[in-house]
Amino acid sequence: MGDSDERDSPADETGVVSSPGVASERSDESVRPAADGGPTGRPGQNTGSGAERPPAPAALASVFEVYEMREDDGTVLYVGEPRAPQKQVERSLWSLFRERGYDVSLRRGYQSGTDVPLSRGEHVLVAEPRSVGVDGVPWLNVGLFVATVLSTLFAGAVYWYQVPVLDEPLRVLEAWPFTAAIIGVLGIHELGHYVLSRYHGVEASLPYFIPVPTYIGSLGAVIKMEGQIPDRRALFDIGIAGPLAGLVATAVVTVVGVQLDPLPVQEATATRAGEEGAVVFNYPPLLELIADLAGAGDSLSGPVHPVVFGGWVGMLVTLLNMLPVGQLDGGHILRAMIGDRAQLVARSIPALLFGLAGYLFVFRGFDSVLIWSMWGLFALGLAYAGPANPVDDSPLGWPRIALGAVTFVLGALCFTPVPVEIIQPA
């Protein structure tokens, strides 16, 4: 939930893949290097939206010897031989291409829909035009947002407001405070990532909400990031912006929620819980602290207004995203703070989650076992995939490191070992 779909490989989102066994074609359609740096036969062309003329081969000579240049629908290909390791080549040329409006990556082989295949063994510098904006109306984002609004209205009306939606479907609108709380904490979390991505010139999509008709009505939201992260500061800022923005929204939702009286149907359900059983959402320390500071700590001892559940969701989302593994927010933050040593921490997270699930199974039955088991598997895959690696790996300054430490503490305060508890009928 809420994790950003960020990838560190330069080819992750381009649709360009290596093609084993495809021979290099030096046909007449290949584009030879021109003296002015632009592909031959296209003088003065601006390749790609916002991109300037690509650098001339001579400008790359210190780290990459260019045999020829080609063009594939705005993407410029430099075929040649590297004179340094891959990371050094990319870091050396990053600024040169970035200031002209391109992302650059060094690959072996290149295959696309046009007739410019290169064999798997050939080295290719791929310069892709950068675009950090949103082109046109993002209909998929809009559609998923509308679907999530409907699914959270349905979840709120059925599970929390207990409205007979089949008999009176328009009464689902009574659950709008619940929907506003859920959409608010999820959306502001992802918009935090989006705004800082734009600030650092990293291409990012608007949030994709995930509608599911559960107690929450959604599995969260994600944004898709493309290209490379410029440096550790950008990686840190993009990673931390979501949890901090989401926590601010969560605090506001919690303060509002604890000031509202619980619904009569909730009070009636609470009195029958011992006889009929119930699902209980236990509060993390941070939510209790916010309620105390709002002067309504006692309200958490009984039924609460559904808006408080929005705060609970915001804290669960923050906790899970702050796990310091892979390309979760916590993984980005820790990678920016301590570099490659973050991998040592990431490898321990799946074991801790599986251990917690095992402990609960032995001593508590099935309470929250599924949650931690699923996230143990998810963390295992993320740890295997590895973290995002910025182009410039220079260390962070102490102010950001201190802010990162505080954010991890806030994330830890969102933890409770049994977030969801099943009360069996008496």
Please state the pTM of the whole predicted model: 0.79
Residue pair 337/401 in contact (Cβ under 8 Å)? The answer is yes
Residue pair 375/320 in contact (Cβ under 8 Å)? The answer is yes
Of 64, 90, 92, 89, nearest in space to 79 by CA: 64
pLDDT by 10s per residue, the chain, length 426: 544 444 343 333 333 223 333 333 333 333 344 334 444 433 333 444 456 788 888 888 899 999 888 888 788 889 989 988 888 888 888 888 888 888 888 888 777 655 556 666 788 888 888 766 666 678 999 999 999 999 999 999 998 898 888 889 899 999 999 999 999 999 999 999 999 999 998 888 899 999 998 889 998 999 988 778 889 999 999 999 999 999 999 999 999 999 999 888 877 776 665 566 677 889 999 999 999 999 998 889 888 999 999 999 999 999 999 999 999 999 999 999 999 999 999 999 999 999 999 999 998 888 889 999 999 999 999 988 888 888 888 899 999 999 999 999 999 999 999 998 887 776
Q: Kindly report the backbone phi and psi dihedral angles of residue 74, in degrees, each rounded to the nearest multiple of 5, phi listed first.
A: 95, -20
Instruction: State the DSSP string of 32-55.
Output: PP-TTSSPTT-TT---STT--PPP
Residue pair 153/211 in contact (Cβ under 8 Å)? The answer is no
